[in-house]
Structure 1
């Protein structure tokens, strides 16, 4: 079902104003008994402006906001979580992953911590193991996220073989120096700045929880 254009009236406004201006110029000329040179020049200018308005309106009719082309990711929908994690951490991971899948462009999510995959959710690839490549290693080293807006344009995409093979956009978000969230989208350039802020905030919360888990383990 096609969405209605909220700017339809604005797109048509120049055409309406252009035609209205042309009609008024014609009526004014018809009721003018004596035509002066200045009025002739004004009429010519008015006709040109009316024509430009109509042309602008016609061009605007052709301009439509276009959303990125999305694809159906290859894989099965699933939810896998490391069984050895404490229930409180499992609950937080489940909550965080659900928020990301519902509120951002994410369709596939993998969380790696201390070299182990602790969560996979969304559309899952056949391969479940994560072998960090150059991009993920850089994220862990620099502690800064990397957003691949269009995976097809990056030769290094081969390292993300644990995501669906036709993933269109990827964000690698660090979890301190110990891990990362790898998020895949089904359309290029689909993550907004708000999405990125959501992801960063949730990553910070998960990092604190996982760090606390480490401290408790050391105490025991």
Structure 2
């Protein structure tokens, strides 16, 4: 379902006022039996002002950006969190995902770390199994985010089958040494630069926590088995 632009009427207002004003001026001119010099000057000024209003409205139609069309993502809303995670990691993931879902255009969120899905939240995709495709591998190897501004333009979108089928935009953000945060939006080109910076900061915070808790636990297990 396409979203309705709440500012559409405001952009059309100068055009409507300009047309109405010029129509009233023409009607007044036709109904005036004797035209005085001062009235003629007033009519000219009125026509100029009406023309400026119409031109302003037309410029607003072209200059002001139209809001991207949003859709309702297919899937059920839910919150799945790996209960085997340390409590501090669970708290961080729950807190960060709530902020991202309520303060950005994100509608679906997946936290992936060391080959495992740690969390899914928002509108859930059809499967929770993640197959590491070319885009996710590149993010994990190079540590740089990938932003697919309009999913339908990218053939590589097929690797994100674990996200809602009609996801419109997607960010794959590195998270720590072995993880990634995958965020799906319900409108194309909807993440701003400020959103991207904020998401990067949240992912770094989560990655730091997961690196400290999960990698430390993994490294400690071989030592325990030798004692």
TM-score, with structure 1 as normaliser: 0.78
CA distance in 1, matches of 2:161, 2:178: 21
Instruction: Report how far residue 218 of structure 1 moved.
Output: 3.0
What 5-or-longer segments of structure 1 have no aligned partner?
33-41
Aligned to 1:160: 160
Aligned to 2:219: 218
Q: Check conservation: 2:176, 2:208, Cα contact below 8 A.
A: no
Aligned to 1:37: none
Aligned to 1:189: 189
CA distance in 2, matches of 1:134, 1:212: 27
Q: Check conservation: 1:125, 1:162, Cα contact below 8 A.
A: yes
TM-score, with structure 2 as normaliser: 0.76
Q: Check conservation: 2:126, 2:162, Cα contact below 8 A.
A: yes
How many residue pairs get matched?
A: 206
Instruction: Report how far residue 84 of structure 1 moved.
Output: 0.9
CA distance in 1, matches of 2:115, 2:54: 60
Q: Check conservation: 2:5, 2:66, Cα contact below 8 A.
A: no
Instruction: Report how far residue 52 of structure 1 moved.
Output: 4.2
CA distance in 2, matches of 1:58, 1:201: 40
Instruction: Report how far residue 188 of structure 1 moved.
Output: 0.8
CA distance in 2, matches of 1:103, 1:8: 26
Instruction: Report how far residue 116 of structure 1 moved.
Output: 0.6
Alignment partner of 2:14 out of 2, 7, 12? 12
CA distance in 2, matches of 1:62, 1:117: 45
Q: Check conservation: 1:111, 1:179, Cα contact below 8 A.
A: yes
Aligned to 2:73: 73
Instruction: Report how far residue 148 of structure 1 moved.
Output: 0.5
What 5-or-longer segments of structure 2 have no aligned partner?
30-34, 222-227
Aligned to 2:208: 208
**1:12 aligned counterpart, secondary structure:** helix
Aligned to 1:36: none
**1:201 aligned counterpart, secondary structure:** helix
CA distance in 1, matches of 2:170, 2:60: 34
